[in-house]
Amino acid sequence: MAIIKNGFTRGKIYNVTYSVRNGVQISKGLSRKPKYDKSAATIDSATVFGKASNLGFYFRLSMYDAYNDFHDSAMSTRLTGLIVESFKPVLDETNLNFIFKQNSFKRLEGFEFNVKSPIQNYLFAQFMVDYSDNNLVKITIPEMKSPKEFVFPSEIAKCKLVVTCGLFDLENGLYNQTESHLFDIQRTYPTTLIPSQETTFSTQPGCLCIIAISLQFYKTTFAGDVILNNKQFNPSAILSAHITDGPVDTDTRERWDEMDFKTGRQLLLPPPAPVHLLPGSPDNTAA
């Protein structure tokens, strides 16, 4: 059905749809592309992609402090692709649910939020991430020398190293409020020695813990500190993605936010020994 108003046709007549855009009459014929029945494999693939895209949204939301909207245009698509690849090995026999292990999301480690400025171009030190303490994750920043292990861009002398932690209860579809810790790094001449530091975050049993780091360079003005990062320059990456040991305790989730993503019970292995991780260098050796 179509109507004529002010000399323009709006609506559908047979196989043609009429509309108005900026005072111009627009007509569009319906697509004659043949339709095909989707196979079971196609439906399963679409289901996995949809769940990966959904979970990726919450990963990006939780890790916002790490990239502050200064990501490349394909960041969302690249992250969803890695989540899809993380899902494939843990699909159950119905292809509709997942049985996660502690290293199921290991391929996220080294993911760059902005490929135009990889963090590995500025930071060469190996951070230690230790999940062995009871419901704690400790990140150790080793002693660094600039410019050998930490590179300041030209004419920039101040930086805030931001370590961000997010927790995700994939079994019950919940995630917590992200926590971030900041460390000030300042260039001195002729050489800069950055002392070793560490920080600790609380975790919860049976939850995916994602640790991200970012370098926020800035200058000090009369109006305060001005961040110099932008869409073209924002070194930030995922340092660790690990499902913690133990059964999920729903009594600790009262203040957590809900996700649309939810899966079945997870099968977990014993906690790993501390490992050294190089920011920006993905480890795709996980099974």
Q: Are residues 17 and 4 in the same domain?
A: yes
**pLDDT for 189-200, tens place per residue?**
777 888 889 999
Q: Are residues 87 and 104 in the same domain?
A: yes
| pLDDT at 223 exceeding the cut of 90 | no
Number of structural domains (the chain) is 2
Q: Does residue 287 fall inside a structural domain?
A: no
Q: Are residues 81 and 147 in the same domain?
A: yes
Q: Are residues 99 and 195 in the same domain?
A: yes
H, E, C per residue of the chain? CEEEECCEEEEEECCEEEEEECCEEEEEECCCCCCCCCCHHHHHHHHHHHHHHHHHHHHHHHCHHHHCCCCCCCHHHHHHHHHHHHHHHHECCCCCCECCCCCCCHHHCCCECCCCCCHHHCECCCEEEECCCCCEEEEEECCEEECCCECCCCCCCEEEEEEEEEEEECCCCEECCCEEEEEEEECCCCCEEECCEEEEEECCCCCEEEEEEEEEEEEEECCEEEECCECCECCEEEEEEEECCCCCCHHHCCCCEECCCCCCCCCCCCCCCCEEECCCCCCCCCC
Q: Are residues 130 and 252 in the same domain?
A: yes
Q: Are residues 70 and 85 in the same domain?
A: yes
Q: Does residue 111 fall inside a structural domain?
A: yes
Looking at residue 141, its amino acid is I
Q: How confident is the model at residue 37 (pLDDT cuts 50, 70, 90)?
A: very low
Q: Does residue 165 fall inside a structural domain?
A: yes
Looking at residue 245, its amino acid is D
Q: How confident is the model at residue 95 (pLDDT cuts 50, 70, 90)?
A: low
When the pLDDT of each residue in the chain is averaged and rounded to a whole number, the result is 82
- pLDDT: is 267 or 237 the higher one? 237
| pLDDT at 203 exceeding the cut of 50 | yes
Q: How confident is the model at residue 27 (pLDDT cuts 50, 70, 90)?
A: confident
- Tell me the mean pLDDT in the region 164-176: 92
Report the C-alpha gap between 141 and 147 in whole angstroms: 16
pLDDT of residue 168: 95
H, E, C per residue of 225-253? EEECCECCECCEEEEEEEECCCCCCHHHC
- Tell me the mean pLDDT in the region 155-178: 91
Q: Are residues 166 and 226 in the same domain?
A: yes
As a whole-number percent, the residues of the chain with pLDDT over 90 amount to 39
Q: Are residues 118 and 223 in the same domain?
A: yes
Query: Which of 127, 131, 164 is closest to 276 using CA atoms?
Result: 127
Q: Are residues 49 and 27 in the same domain?
A: no
As a whole-number percent, the residues of the chain with pLDDT over 70 amount to 80
Q: Are residues 47 and 121 in the same domain?
A: yes
Q: Does residue 98 fall inside a structural domain?
A: yes
| pLDDT at 115 exceeding the cut of 90 | yes
CB 2 within 8 A of CB 11: yes
Q: Does residue 282 fall inside a structural domain?
A: no
**Structural domain of 247:** 40-277
pLDDT of residue 187: 84
Distances (CA, A) of 53 to 14, 67, 84, 141: 37, 19, 8, 32
CB 238 within 8 A of CB 211: yes
Q: Does residue 286 fall inside a structural domain?
A: no
Q: Are residues 53 and 28 in the same domain?
A: no
| pLDDT at 221 exceeding the cut of 90 | no
Q: Does residue 285 fall inside a structural domain?
A: no
Residue 272 buriedness (CB in 10 A; 0-12 / 13-18 / 19+): middle
Q: Does residue 121 fall inside a structural domain?
A: yes
Q: Are residues 20 and 50 in the same domain?
A: no
Which structure tokens are listed for 152? 């300041």
